[in-house]
Amino acid sequence: MEATLEQLQEQLLREQFPQIADLRNQVHISYWSDYHLISQSLLNHLPFGRSLGPTTFYQYIDYQLDNLLIEARRNLLFWSLSGTNHFNQTPITQTTLFFDETFFWHYYIPVRTREITEALLQGNRIRFLSRFCLLQAQVEVEFNEIRLCTTDSGTQLVYCHSKEYTYKWTTSLWEVNIVNDEQTLVNSTNFSCPITEPNTFGRETEYQDRLDQILHQPDNFNIEAQYWNLLDTTEIASDLPSSSPSLPSLSSRAHTPELQTCWCRIDLCLCNNPRPDTPPTPPYIILWKPTALNTQPEIGLHYQRNSTSIQSGSPI
Range with the poorest average pLDDT among 47-61, 186-200, 223-237: 223-237
For the residues 293-298, what does the mean pLDDT come to?
Answer: 49
User: What is the residue-averaged pLDDT of the chain?
Assistant: 75
Q: Is the dihedral of CA 240, 245, 251, 254 positive or negative?
A: positive
List all residues 6 or more positions away from 233 whose beta carbon is below 8 Å from its beta carbon: none
Cα distances (Å, whole numbers) of residue 225 to 51, 75, 274, 293? 19, 36, 19, 16
Note the pLDDT of residue 189: 87
Note the pLDDT of residue 85: 67
For the residues 152-178, what does the mean pLDDT come to?
Answer: 90
Range with the poorest average pLDDT among 2-11, 66-75, 114-123, 290-299: 290-299
Range with the poorest average pLDDT among 4-13, 123-132, 282-291: 282-291
pLDDT tens digits, 199-219: 998 999 999 999 999 999 877
Cα gap 234→243, rounded to integer Å:
11
Q: Is the pTM of this model over 0.75?
A: no
DSSP states of 23-52: GGG-TTEEEE-S--EEEHHHHHT--TTS-B
